[in-house]
Structures are given as structure tokens and as C-alpha cells.
Amino acid sequence: HKAVVLAAVRQNGGAMSWASQGMQNDMDVARAAVQQNGDALRYAAAQLQDHEGIVLEAVQQNGLALPYPANWLQNHEGAVKAV
């Protein structure tokens, strides 16, 4: 199941919106999704939206992803520089 979801989000990060809650909470799936489309961060589980590495990758791919993480990460120097 995970392999199918990974293949989908590598093609279209937005496909994460259709993934199960368990897959939205999976670090590998979230990372693959945001690398393809930073905006996919909105579909990641809340704890991954607060994960510094995931957020930085999302923002590097798409600066418009910055509103999705927790407030403390929105002001993170690395995230702001990535935009």
C-alpha cells in the first residue's frame, strides 16, 4: 500500500489529499509529496506540518507552503530564507 501511495505522490504531491490518515502521517510519504509539490504540506498530518525538515523541503519547493506549519516554524530563519 505504501509503495502505491509513494508512487502517486512522486507524480503529484497533491495526491496526498486522497491518502489514508496513516499515509498522511508517514514521514516518507510526506517528504516525497512536498518534494514534488510543497503545497502538499497542507495534507500532511499536523505533527509533520511541525517537522522542521519536512517544512523546509516544502517551502524550498514552494514558498506558498509557509502558512501551513506551526507559527514557530513560520518564523524559522531557515524556512524564511528558503522562500
Q: Give yes or no for a contact between 66 and 74, defined as CB atoms under 8 angstroms apart.
A: yes
pLDDT exceeds cutoff 70 at 66: no
- Residue 23: per-residue pLDDT: 97
pLDDT tens-digit series, residues 43-54? 999 999 888 889
pTM of the model: 0.80
Mean pLDDT to the nearest integer, 54-63 = 86
In the Cβ-directed half-sphere of 28, how many Cα atoms lie within 13 Å? 8
Per-residue confidence band for 77, with pLDDT thresholds at 50, 70 and 90: low
9: left (phi over 0), alpha (psi -120 to 50) or beta: alpha
- Kindly indicate the confidence band of residue 9, based on its pLDDT and cuts at 50, 70 and 90: very high
Cell reading at 37: 509539490
How many residues are listed for the chain in this entry? 83
Coil/strand/helix, residue 51: coil
**Cell 519547493, residue located:** 61
The predicted pLDDT at position 59 comes to 83
